[in-house]
Structure 1
Amino acid sequence: MNRNVILTCAVTGAGDTTARNPNVPVTPKAIAASCIEAAHAGASIAHIHVRDPETGGISHSTEQFREVMERVREADVDIVMNITAGGGGDWIPDATDPTRGGPGTDIQTPAERHAPVGELLPELCTLDCGSLNFGDMVYVNPADWLREHARLVQAAGVKPELECFDLGHVWFARQLQQEGLIDGDPLYQLCLGIPWGAEADTETMLAMRNKLPANANWAAFGIGRHQMPMVAQAVLLGGHARVGLEDNLFLEKGVLANNGQLVEKASTIIENLGARVMTPAETRVHLKLRDPMTGRIMGNAVGGDV
């Protein structure tokens, strides 16, 4: 069991969720406000996407990421910032010509995916570790693209969160580490419950955890109704946890959530298990992240029972 838990709040995502829950933030101002709300509720990390303010759809705008980060940094709160670098991988074959991308396709090169990270230098960024049948579309991330992207993140000095949606992604993330493309102790995020990747259940989480390198830090999340059970399961298996409106829109059946409520509910679960949520400052030390004020890499990890 993990007694010192890093709790991430993924505040908005990029999915078609804004019409289903009005609390899903869309504008940079609203996304920043959700990060601040999560910080006040006790989250260690805020994971952010940005959206088109007019449509609520996907955006990759560096300026929108910049506005979110600046608003959060100017607020009287502390939270580790983790920006997505996994956008631009959505492939939906055209109905009449499957060799071409149809409506909804959104493909970026590794350099384009990395652009906001390279310019803004957040403490963390995601690195999605493979391709996947992602619901009714395909998420495209070939091995050579992923190697290129890992080199860019490494050169920027940003710590990658290795997002693994299936067991093969863990395998390839280990390969990146063996090739010298991941510095220090790796940070894995086990992403469970997305059709048709890894299922959100104990057996799958345990199988993925057992394939991690010995020096790995890891977290896990489940989507929808699996969110809170996977919080408890991750802590019991020695990991960290993630909640937020990117992954789940409901506080309980029929009751729409906001990000602060999801953080508070997860924190209660963690505390009832006999653990505690780590502060952002402790998180930076534990993961050896760059301090956003000084640029200095923080020191040795805090203790915890596993």
Structure 2
Amino acid sequence: MQKKVILSCAVTGAGDTVSKNPHVPVTPKEIADASIKAAKAGATIAHIHVRDPETGQLSHDVNLFREVVERVREAETDVILNITAGGGGDWVPSDEDPTRGGAGTDMQTPEERHEPVGELLPEICTLDCGSVNFGNQVYISPTDWLRKQASLIQQSGVRAELECFDTGHIRFANQLVDEGLIDGDPLFQFCLGIPWGAAADAETIAYMKSRIPENGRWAAFGIGRMQMPVVAQSVLQGGNIRVGLEDNIYLKKGVLASNEQLVDKAVGITQSLGSDIMTPAEARKTLNLRNPHGRDN
């Protein structure tokens, strides 16, 4: 168990949650404010997606990302920014012709997925390390696309967080490391409980962490009701943690959450187990990140 852990808050995500919880932020101002509130509650990192302000649905608009980033960076409250580079990867088979994508299909090239990262240069960005079934749709991320994205991220100087939704993703993430496409100590995120990826349980965490390089750092998150149990298991097994409305919209059964409430609960769990949360400055030193604020680390 680590003395201090890094706590990420995934404040909005891309799922159909806006109509289910009024606390899910939609506009750039709301997303920035949610990131700042999460930081004040104890989050080390804010993980950012953006949404169409009119519809609340997923957006890839770089200008929306830019507004969020600028608002957070101008705030007095410090927080590390982790921008999604997952982009458009959703493929939904058409009912009329299952060989073609139907309604809900949203695909982007590696270059398009990288655009917000390359322009805004956050400290960290995600790299989803393989394709996976998400319920009845498929997230598509072929290996050659991932090599291209990893190269673009490396050239930008941003740290890649290697998102692993199943054990095969760890194998490919290790391959990227072996090929020299990931600099420094690699950062892994175990994404657990998504139908139909890796399970959200202690045994899966133990197996996945056993498959990363010796110098690798890892975090894990669980979705829905498994969010807080995975927080506890990650702390106990020596990893970092993630909570937030992207992954779970409830504080407890029947009670809708806000991001800061989920962060506060995760902080309490962590401290009750004998660890504490790293500040952004401490995490920048630990992960060897640049500091876009110009503040002392």
TM-score by length of 1: 0.96
Q: Distance in 2 between matches of 1:107 and 1:57?
A: 15
The corresponding residue for 2:219 is 219
Which sections of structure 2, spanning at least 5 residues, go unmatched? none
**Structure 1, gaps ≥5 residues long:** 299-306
2:154 alignment partner, SS class: helix
Aligned counterparts of 1:180 and 1:76: Cα–Cα separation in 2: 37
Q: Does 2:3 align with 1:3? A: yes
Contact in 1 for aligned 2:73/2:293 (Cα 8 Å): no
Alpha-carbon separation, structure 2, partners of 1:2 and 1:194: 27
1:150 corresponds in structure 2 to 150
Note the 1:84-233 alignment, pairs <5 A: 84-233=84-233
Alpha-carbon distance in structure 1 between the residues aligned to 2:256 and 2:87: 26
Amino acid at match of 1:253: K
CA deviations over 1:5-43 (Å, ceiling 9, x no partner) = 000000000000001101000010100010011011010
Aligned residue identity for 1:46: A
* CA distance in 1: counterparts of 2:293 and 2:250, whole angstroms: 35
Distance 2:239 2:138 in 1: 28
* Aligned partners of 2:12 and 2:245 also within 8 Å: yes
Q: Which residue of structure 2 lines up, in the alignment, with residue 53 of structure 1?
A: 53
Equivalent residue for 2:74?
74
What is the identity, as a one-letter code, of the residue corresponding to 1:236?
L
User: How far 1:126 sits from its partner (Å)?
Assistant: 0.2
Partner of 1:304: none
Aligned-partner residue type, residue 249 of structure 2:
L
- Measured after TM superposition, the shift of residue 73 of structure 1 is 1.2
> 2: CA distance between counterparts of 1:257 and 1:77?
22
Deviations 1:192-236 (A, max 9, x none): 000000010111111111101100010000000000010010011
Match of 2:47, SS state, is strand
Deviation of the 1:100 alpha carbon: 1.4
What is the rounded CA distance, in whole Å, between the counterparts of 2:295 and 2:282 in structure 1?
16
**1:255 aligns to 2:252 (yes or no):** no
Match of 2:243 in 1: 243
- In structure 1, what residue type is equivalent to 2:259? N
Deviation at 1:294, TM superposition (A): 4.0
The alignment partner of 2:55 has SS state of coil
> How far 1:293 moved relative to its partner?
2.9
Alignment partners' CA distance in 2, 1:37 and 1:254: 23
In the other structure, the counterpart of 2:292 is: 292
For 1:144, give the aligned amino acid. Answer: D
Counterpart check, 1:33 vs 2:47: no
